[in-house]
Structure 1
């Protein structure tokens, strides 16, 4: 390209920016003081060492996670995050052996990010040969690099390929003796800060005659309470109706059940957090999923929300006849 063509190219870019089109520069280059450069974590390491678990942990902590992104596209991803008006403040990118043809571009991308002032960390997951062999044999899958050889041949080739990246890592986690929960705990310790891991609960009312919810972690049976279906003036309504709800909670044991089960859920929630479990579905059932379970789910959901648990309320069978 001649010097004249180079100047014309810059001139066309400047006019496009002035016309309101998106610039290809960083926020600092474009003068956009409101755009915040996202924090970046690059997750890599040995196949079978827990990259997916580490990525899911960051996703649960609110990070925007991209799996198997070619390293050459990492600066572009960060740039797009900077244009998101704060919606993408933290990005995690998984770089693994499947993208090995792109590893030559990684160092150049990292240098580009450093020049633009991007805060980045590299997390490298490794494990012993014995542990990796056991994991691949347990799932009956070949190592991505073993080709016509053995699993150990693929592991050796991958170690050689990733040696330089491991040396550049900011955090190396050996997962040889770690289970999934212990790995999540280590990731939480590094990236959750002082905040306690958040637990999200789905409270779902349902009718037993339509079957148990297949995704339920906990199931509560409200059929010990009298059924408003047999009260003619209440039958047409649902548990969302104030009169139906009052009828349900005026029954012996209803309020006591709500209070004591809420206390039990607080105990369970604390254990879930310690074990790294982020999501729980609580299914509350009655015969048809219209009256008792709906009323109880409404109250239970409100109680959990008041305890700081993010709650989603679903009435699966309320509209069925």
Structure 2
């Protein structure tokens, strides 16, 4: 990488499924101080990078929205990304959502899918998903927006792309309930159902893993402390490897049956043990806390 490229700053490519929230993500990035370019054909990425290098730091953070509105030009994105990553550190954010959610969103705004042609909205979604398969596989960050409203998505983008001091990697530790489904954006999943469930204790049933009584109960169980110590130790070389490979974000999901007791306790304990990992900023989220 040349000195001009190092001084030019960060470049983030924002892409993904139509209806998954690209505009919301772009607006959130703009609010964070990123210079956002919308609907840029992949062939224009190299000239844009040339411009940022000539600007010598005037544009320290550039986000580029690239999507199927570029029609046939969009097919060049994978090749363009490979070529540009040899020259600059570029991240790719991919926004996704379940097909049925995307259909409802298009129906709500009464607009056709850009690729549906004479077919249905679902036809357009399936065509787009096929075209984006390779792009999704090369993404640095994938956000599934199926359960998000626009405010929740903006918050997620803010959490991921706000400067985190000297951190080279942002780790999200996410508690969840298996009965509500696996988190689609999880890189690693840990199952806490090997521990006794506080739900069956009438006193603790209405409480959560954020209450001291539940925390003490969970950590007193055989294997709880041993697991969390061993898992934290196993994750440290993984996080170091992510940094060497320039993977800036990861999600470690910690699950139990309902996402209310055991997973919440263990997610918080894991975060405490990883808080001092070099170059890592740790954030804790509870996906299903508060759900009935």
Q: TM-score, normalised by structure 1?
A: 0.49
Instruction: Structure 1: give runs of 5+ residues left out of the alignment.
Output: 1-26, 196-321
Of residues 91, 98, 106 in structure 1, which corresponds to 2:62? 91
Residue 86 of structure 1 and its aligned partner are, at CA, apart by 1.5
Is 1:150 matched with 2:126?
A: no
Distance 2:41 2:72 in 1: 9
Of residues 119, 131, 139 in structure 1, which corresponds to 2:101? 131
Q: Does the CA contact (< 8 Å) of 1:44 and 1:123 recur in 2?
A: yes
Distance 1:132 1:34 in 2: 38
Residue 132 of structure 1 and its aligned partner are, at CA, apart by 0.8
- Give the number of the structure with larger relative contact order, counting CA–CA contacts within 8 Å between residues 6 or more apart: 2
Of residues 125, 140, 152 in structure 2, which corresponds to 1:182? 152
Q: What whole-Å deviation, never above 9, does each CA across 1:20-50 have from its counterpart, x for those lacking one?
A: xxxxxxx93xxx7697123110111111100
Residue of structure 1 in register with 2:23 after alignment: 52
Of residues 53, 60, 70 in structure 2, which corresponds to 1:82? 53
RMSD value over aligned CA atoms? 1.9
Is 1:40 matched with 2:11?
A: yes
Paired residues for 1:272-287 under 5 Å:
none
In the superposition, relative to structure 1, how do residues 112 and 62 fare at CA in structure 2: closer, same or farther (>3 Å)?
same
Distance 2:9 2:72 in 1: 26
Q: What whole-Å deviation, never above 9, does each CA across 1:65-110 have from its counterpart, x for those lacking one?
A: 1111111111210110111131101111111111131233223322
Distance 1:35 1:170 in 2: 20
Q: What whole-Å deviation, never above 9, does each CA across 1:199-229 have from its counterpart, x for those lacking one?
A: xxxxxxxxxxxxxxxxxxxxxxxxxxxxxxx
In the superposition, relative to structure 1, how do residues 39 and 146 fare at CA in structure 2: closer, same or farther (>3 Å)?
same
Distance 1:157 1:93 in 2: 23
- Structure label with greater radius of gyration: 1
| Equivalences, count | 165
Distance 1:128 1:154 in 2: 14
In the superposition, relative to structure 1, how do residues 74 and 177 fare at CA in structure 2: closer, same or farther (>3 Å)?
same
In the superposition, relative to structure 1, how do residues 35 and 150 fare at CA in structure 2: closer, same or farther (>3 Å)?
closer
Moved over 4 A (4+): 32-35
Instruction: Structure 2: give runs of 5+ residues left out of the alignment.
Output: 166-292
In the superposition, relative to structure 1, how do residues 34 and 170 fare at CA in structure 2: closer, same or farther (>3 Å)?
closer
In the superposition, relative to structure 1, how do residues 193 and 79 fare at CA in structure 2: closer, same or farther (>3 Å)?
same
Residue of structure 2 in register with 1:270 after alignment: none
Q: TM-score, normalised by structure 2?
A: 0.53
Q: Does the CA contact (< 8 Å) of 2:8 and 2:56 recur in 1?
A: no
Distance 1:33 1:152 in 2: 45
Distance 2:159 2:4 in 1: 32
SS of residue matched to 1:36: helix
In the superposition, relative to structure 1, how do residues 104 and 147 fare at CA in structure 2: closer, same or farther (>3 Å)?
closer
Residue 193 of structure 1 and its aligned partner are, at CA, apart by 2.5
In the superposition, relative to structure 1, how do residues 160 and 47 fare at CA in structure 2: closer, same or farther (>3 Å)?
same
Residue of structure 1 in register with 2:190 after alignment: none
In the superposition, relative to structure 1, how do residues 35 and 169 fare at CA in structure 2: closer, same or farther (>3 Å)?
closer
SS of residue matched to 2:7: coil
Residue 151 of structure 1 and its aligned partner are, at CA, apart by 0.8
Distance 1:127 1:76 in 2: 31
SS of residue matched to 1:178: coil
